[in-house]
Structure 1
Amino acid sequence: MPPKGRGPLQQVHREVDDMRGQLESLLKDVQGDDTESKEESFRRCQELQLSAEKTLKNLTQLTKADEIAPVGNYDQRKLEEERRLRSVLEQLNKLSAELSPPGPSTDPPTGDARKEGEGGTGDSDEADTDEDAAQKDDGRKDESRAANATPQSEPCVYTALSDFQGDQEGDLTVKRGDTLKIIRKTSDGWWLAENADGDRGVVPRTYLKIGSALAADKDEEEDEESPDEAEEEEEGSEELAEEEEEEEDEEEEKPSDAAQSNWSTFRKALTEIDATDVLAAMGAIPSGFRPSTLSKLLVDEGAKYKGSHFMQPELSQSQLSFSDLFLDPDTGRHRTSRDSQVRPRHTRTCVCFTLWSCKSIPTPGVGVQVLSRHIRLCAFDGTRVLSNIHTVRATYTPKNPRTWLFSPRTAGVLPSLLDGDCFLRCDADDPDLGILFELGVTFIRNSTGERGDLSCGWAFLKLSDAAGNALPSRTYELPVSGGTPYEKDVDMEGFLTRASSAGIFQQMLKARRQPKLIVKFKTANARIKMQLSFLPSTLLHCLNLVPLLAMYRQLLADALLVDRPTMQNADLIFSPVLATFPTLVDQPDLLDAVRTAWMDAESNMSRAQKRDEAQVKQEFAKAFRSSASLLLHSPSLPWHRWADAASEEQRSRLIGSALEALKRARGPSGGLEVLADPARAHLAFDVAEMTFDLLRVAR
């Protein structure tokens, strides 16, 4: 770990200086012509080689985000350190070839030849030429090593990552995939290049990637012409692969807290080259924006962070019972009773809150179309995501796009996707437990049509004070920081998240313009509190959907704890509700349709029917089958895709028409005759959609 106040790039600079000093000392010892210490010199040379290769590997993985403080001309400094390190490696490789026991050839060197070799370790150009001629048999290895150490004046081949339109005189217009020959590299980032037609001009280095398809074809031809060189290259690649596998095994064997966290996914999101890097180079996104880390978790690790995963029953350690699903002893005495209820379970943390608004949030620049503004939130302890990742979409007015609003006033039932009223249940015993809010946008590039997810900043609210007491119910203004939750004091469009040395008046003005997230904690009523106690120990979701989630848990308890012949029975259970309800948890528009159908059915029930728990469960199952089954098996329902306006609009029209047909056909059967309407087409039913498989879904 680098000392305090020293960044990773500065640490690499010091390590390279130290290696150069050790190399000079080693060269002096070798020139002393001490034959007895030749083995010791060879060992020292090998240790230096390993150290240099390890430092080079770490240097290539460094990014500007790893620095603890802003670094000017970061890319140029990193490139300079890489050149210095490769130069040290090249000298070490030459020295290792001289000191190795077999020697560079089968014939023993004479005294004059050895002196010439010793002189080659210095600064003599003639000796370097002789050594290069002696190592000509190394072929492709030396060529690739020499290419890495070529001066900037020598041409090399690059490929264009994206289209670039030259705006000024001297610029070179390129298309994505064009092969360019770099004539000159400059420190300002604008490189002189030549295309296949012979036209020359300057191109931003961020648009270029080293290598080309033509070079690959040429390499294949050279491999065919020189089979000996190909064999040497294959042996070198196999040795390199074995070394990488050994390093990966050593890293896996090392016990680290990072294995328990999501840092690997976050770092992957930071280091990948995608549309975000190109947009940042173009200036289309403000400073402080990053690829969305929570979206990356949802994409890479799938169901692990979805609400449907946490809604499933959790098995105990013995795998013979459940750890979060029990019957109430007062209502579950008789296994044949249909009035049994789930036993209320209280967790360490259960809070209700409202997303109020976001202020002074920077907006992306030109060339980018924003498809969705939203907040992704989850339980977080500083290193790990401890709950499902819930998403709430924000609204805004065209006059003030920097202010995000939630829970807009709409006619009818408010869609759960726009509902800022949320709850969090978490049973983690961690003093640093809190809620992580990641402000994000889903965008599409106008020029290429690429989609992506950006993080516009993040905020964290710890759920306990220094004494361990829960936070009181009031409104909190949270500062929005740039970067990711693992980065500190990242600038966002000129705003510093750390303290500034400016005057008090300037600090007050800057504080008013600082990006903020306003969250209001509130106390739920007695009915919502009781329904929340029926839910799993860990869950974050929309507060207005609690009655539906609690009803699902009631039906789950009946099927698993009451209707099963024995607790060891794991046969398939016929229940379309249990089989398909978790799927709806990840599709909020379909869950809203079930909520609307259940509200209509509940309004037509008498008071006596509402007091009968068995009757309520039966009516809920009817409403679910008549709405969800009708929609899920409709061939005209497009696949759920996030932030796709055309798909969302088509789904909304189909759901609205289905609910209207259900309301018109309301009768004793609960509207199930809509399923038999010959005017409506249905997909074929699958047994997995009609039966609940405990062994497959249990956690």
Structure 2
Amino acid sequence: MPPKRRGPLQTVQRDTDDIKKKIDALSSGIDGLNEAERREASLRCSELQNAVEQRKRTLQKLTKADEPAPVANYNQRKQDEEERLLRLQEHLHTLALKLQPIESKNESEAGQSSIQEDEESGEEESEENEESADSDNVDDDDDEEEEDEEGDNDDEDIDTERKTAAVYIALSTFKGEQEGDLSMQKGEVLTILKKNMDGWWLGQDSKGNQGLVPRTFLKEYSGEEKEEESEVEENSADEEEEEPKAKQSASSNWDTVRRAITEIDATDVLSAMGAIPPGFRPSTLSKLLDEGITHRGSHYTQPELSQSQLSFNDLFLDPDSGKVRLRQSRVCLTLTLWSCRMIPPPGVGLQVLSRHIRFCAFNGTEVLSNVHTVRATYNPKSPKTWRFSPRMSGVLPSLLDGDCFLRCHSPSPNLGILFELGVTYIRNSTGERGDLSCGWAFLKLFDKNGTPIPLRTQELTVHGGTPYERDVEMDTTSTKRASATPTGVLQQMLMARKLPKLLVKLKSPSTRIRTLLNLLPDTIVGSLSCVPLLALYRQLLADTLLLNRVTMQNADLLCSSVLATFPQVLDQPDLMDALRLAWMKAESMLKRHEKNDIAVLKREFENVYMSSVYPLLFMTEMPRPQWADEGVETQRARVIYNPALQNPMATMLSSEHTHQAFDITQVTYDLISSARH
């Protein structure tokens, strides 16, 4: 019978056992060595430190999918093994200090006694924490041996700390979570007194406070930057005597320091901690949405002013029918998001609040449209698979609807659709929220000859990093296997299935949908279910701006509650769903000839809007929308679908419901501030 195949985790465990035996042998014969033997033992200690570090890196890359057979409590076993390697690192660090040359020890003993006392008190606290952790996970004999060695080498550790003390700058604010931690502010300069192998360094701030800080929050503060700091201080005291070149040099170096501080964010910290795969990045498209309304759908539904600012580029009336004139766009298609597979999940310590896809028109260098978001459904039994448009009773919410549309009139030969897979998370330890990109895919809509690509189902490879990076892996073992040279066609097919993929189906819109889409702006993306409402809004815009103004040069405020507030509703999917349901109900009660009468449709749309969502916009009971906040979403749903609020007039006049203070912007449309320039 052939021997049972050993799994990767078991291999690391066996290797760690061998390393521990070598460490025990080294530590047992350390006393009584001469200088030459001490140098040889120090070399062996360094080799063992490298071996432990290599095993740590190997262990961090392992996943449950790598095992040839199911492993019970895999995550716990992996965590226990990582803790064991950390303890071995600490043990080797202690041995390395003990094996230092005697001359260097004597030199370091000439330090300041006051610093030594402070460091001894801090080290005693860290030793107590190590003792409590070791008592749960290590054999008693190893605990006693490690603690004795640390106790005998307190003075040596402190001397080494003074010798290696360095100045670092805080890349992010850190609030101490336990006793003995040192809180620091972003940009604060610290003196590092000891660099522990577990990643928690002993630091001292400018006020003399000492404590432990995470090394991932720090960046070395070079001597040049410190010299420039003193130069800037001197220059601020006597600016008239400073030479122009010195000013430029100081400013340039300080700009470098500021950039180094601002470019490092929580994502870098999470990546360094191993909480996320290295292919994850801060969300590019989420950042665009947070910067304002420029990349929101509400902005792109507004008419675009011409170069003269006296007319519009994309909003015209047909004089024969009185409707908005249809406009053809270079790209006008519908797409259905099917699923994503083999998407690596975030690691421990993060609670995922939302999995979603954001997409937009893109030419390889810049975003050309608004950014639309579709939330994915998730099954814990298949953590690497995302799906869209779940089957459910009633009307599917637009936020979950994978049926979307895209219009773009850009002449760029590289025009395409950028898809960014993202998660919104919250850190369990700090409560900090953030948005991560789990990869991106780009679908180019034209070939090298300028011919549109066939409208069919597309299987897109998901890349790591940002859309402006290339060849960044998602750091999954399946990706590394697929990148290796396969030995056969079957193996190549199997490996290709392990790559992260996004499945999207492109379709040509039906005649009815195409007619409605041609009423919209030349460039816009969104949910297909909202197209009828967007078309009616554009019709009201055309009537108000092209017919009801005294002259085309008149820019006075226009009285229209619908035009003034519809963009706010468009940016809130739950309110848009409520409007869509109310419109579907009202439209179903119209007669056939009324459905073809644009005047009747506009009048009915205004009535439905004012009686459904308009009163909700300014109620104090309605909390402000908060992305991926389940509590806020639930509270808003209770208000939106509350039967007691179905009568808008009674709601607005009732003393039981309070509303925001009246503002003129609630009932007037401002052409100057709303139109796109």
**TM-score, normalisation: structure 2:** 0.67
Q: Which residue of 2 aligns with 1:287?
A: 278
Relative to structure 1, the CA distance from residue 173 to residue 228 in structure 2 (aligned partners, 3 Å threshold; closer, same or farther) is: closer
Aligned AA (2:381): K
Aligned AA (1:598): W
Contact 1:153 1:184 in 2 (8 A): no
* Among candidates 513, 516, 524, match of residue 539 of structure 1: 524
Relative to structure 1, the CA distance from residue 241 to residue 392 in structure 2 (aligned partners, 3 Å threshold; closer, same or farther) is: farther
Q: Which residue of 1 aligns with 2:487?
A: 503
* Among candidates 479, 496, 499, match of residue 514 of structure 1: 499
Contact 2:332 2:407 in 1 (8 A): yes
TM superposition shift of 1:352: 0.5
Relative to structure 1, the CA distance from residue 600 to residue 675 in structure 2 (aligned partners, 3 Å threshold; closer, same or farther) is: farther
Q: Which residue of 2 aligns with 1:680?
A: 657
Q: Which residue of 2 aligns with 1:657?
A: 642
Equivalent runs, 1:190-205 vs 2, <5 Å: 193=202, 205=215
* Among candidates 425, 431, 439, match of residue 421 of structure 2: 439
Deviations 1:401-456 (A, max 9, x none): 21111111222211111111111110100111000000011111111111111110
Contact 1:372 1:443 in 2 (8 A): yes
Relative to structure 1, the CA distance from residue 438 to residue 229 in structure 2 (aligned partners, 3 Å threshold; closer, same or farther) is: closer
Relative to structure 1, the CA distance from residue 464 to residue 185 in structure 2 (aligned partners, 3 Å threshold; closer, same or farther) is: same
In 1, distance between residues paired with 2:288 and 2:482? Answer: 28
Q: Which residue of 2 aligns with 1:350?
A: 332
Q: Which residue of 2 aligns with 1:597?
A: 582
In 1, distance between residues paired with 2:208 and 2:544? Answer: 75
Contact 1:315 1:698 in 2 (8 A): yes
Deviations 1:614-640 (A, max 9, x none): 121111101001112111011100011
SS at match of 2:384: strand
In 2, distance between residues paired with 1:681 and 1:228? Answer: 58
SS at match of 1:342: coil
SS at match of 2:519: coil
SS at match of 2:535: helix
Moved more, 527-536 or 597-606: 597-606
Deviations 1:229-266 (A, max 9, x none): 984799669855434779999xxxxxxxxxxxxxxxxx
In 1, distance between residues paired with 2:527 and 2:167? Answer: 54
Contact 2:193 2:204 in 1 (8 A): no
Deviations 1:260-297 (A, max 9, x none): xxxxxxx9899722211111111000120011111122
Deviations 1:164-215 (A, max 9, x none): 999xxxxx963443996434669x895864669999999763243557xxxx
In 1, distance between residues paired with 2:653 and 2:592? Answer: 31
Contact 1:577 1:621 in 2 (8 A): yes
Deviations 1:379-413 (A, max 9, x none): 00000100011111111112112111111122221
2:535 counterpart of 1:550? yes
Q: Which residue of 2 aligns with 1:420?
A: 402
Q: Which residue of 2 aligns with 1:182?
A: 192
In 1, distance between residues paired with 2:554 and 2:498? Answer: 61
Aligned AA (1:297): L
Equivalent runs, 1:544-693 vs 2, <5 Å: 544-657=529-642, 661-662=645-646, 672-693=649-670
Aligned AA (2:600): Q
Relative to structure 1, the CA distance from residue 198 to residue 619 in structure 2 (aligned partners, 3 Å threshold; closer, same or farther) is: closer
* Among candidates 392, 397, 400, match of residue 410 of structure 1: 392
SS at match of 1:620: helix
Relative to structure 1, the CA distance from residue 203 to residue 521 in structure 2 (aligned partners, 3 Å threshold; closer, same or farther) is: same
In 2, distance between residues paired with 1:645 and 1:237? Answer: 58
Q: How many residues align?
A: 501
In 1, distance between residues paired with 2:250 and 2:424? Answer: 36
TM superposition shift of 1:602: 1.3
Aligned AA (2:562): V
Identity between Structure 1 and Structure 2 (%): 55
Aligned AA (1:652): A
SS at match of 1:464: coil
Contact 2:165 2:191 in 1 (8 A): yes
Aligned AA (2:392): T
Equivalent runs, 1:203-352 vs 2, <5 Å: 205-209=215-219, 231=237, 240-243=246-249, 272-300=263-291, 302-331=292-321, 340-352=322-334
Aligned AA (1:307): G
Aligned AA (1:299): D
Deviations 1:41-64 (A, max 9, x none): xxxxxxxxxxxxxxxxxxxxxxxx
Contact 1:371 1:444 in 2 (8 A): yes
In 1, distance between residues paired with 2:401 and 2:394? Answer: 13
Moved more, 175-184 or 409-418: 175-184
Aligned AA (1:491): E
Relative to structure 1, the CA distance from residue 156 to residue 345 in structure 2 (aligned partners, 3 Å threshold; closer, same or farther) is: same
Deviations 1:535-580 (A, max 9, x none): 0000000011000000000111111112222222222111100000
Q: Which residue of 1 aligns with 2:353?
A: 371
In 2, distance between residues paired with 1:464 and 1:248? Answer: 45
TM superposition shift of 1:465: 2.2
In 2, distance between residues paired with 1:638 and 1:191? Answer: 41
Q: Which residue of 2 aligns with 1:468?
A: 450
Contact 1:408 1:418 in 2 (8 A): yes
TM superposition shift of 1:600: 1.5
TM superposition shift of 1:698: 1.2
SS at match of 2:385: strand
Q: Which consecutive unaligned segments of at least 5 residues does structure 1 have?
A: 1-150, 167-171, 250-266, 332-339, 666-670
Aligned AA (1:516): K
SS at match of 1:400: coil
Q: Which residue of 1 aligns with 2:54?
A: none
SS at match of 2:294: helix
Relative to structure 1, the CA distance from residue 689 to residue 203 in structure 2 (aligned partners, 3 Å threshold; closer, same or farther) is: closer
In 2, distance between residues paired with 1:400 and 1:228? Answer: 61
In 1, distance between residues paired with 2:610 and 2:474? Answer: 49
Q: Which residue of 2 aligns with 1:491?
A: 473
Contact 2:481 2:495 in 1 (8 A): no
Contact 1:189 1:204 in 2 (8 A): no
TM superposition shift of 1:329: 3.0
In 2, distance between residues paired with 1:599 and 1:423? Answer: 20
TM superposition shift of 1:607: 2.4
In 1, distance between residues paired with 2:482 and 2:451? Answer: 27
RMSD between aligned residues = 3.8
Aligned AA (1:567): M
In 2, distance between residues paired with 1:274 and 1:174? Answer: 21
In 2, distance between residues paired with 1:577 and 1:609? Answer: 21
TM superposition shift of 1:461: 0.3
In 2, distance between residues paired with 1:269 and 1:299? Answer: 22
Deviations 1:78-120 (A, max 9, x none): xxxxxxxxxxxxxxxxxxxxxxxxxxxxxxxxxxxxxxxxxxx
Q: Which consecutive unaligned segments of at least 5 residues does structure 2 have?
A: 1-160
Deviations 1:214-234 (A, max 9, x none): xx9xx99x99xxx98984799
TM superposition shift of 1:500: 3.6
SS at match of 1:513: coil
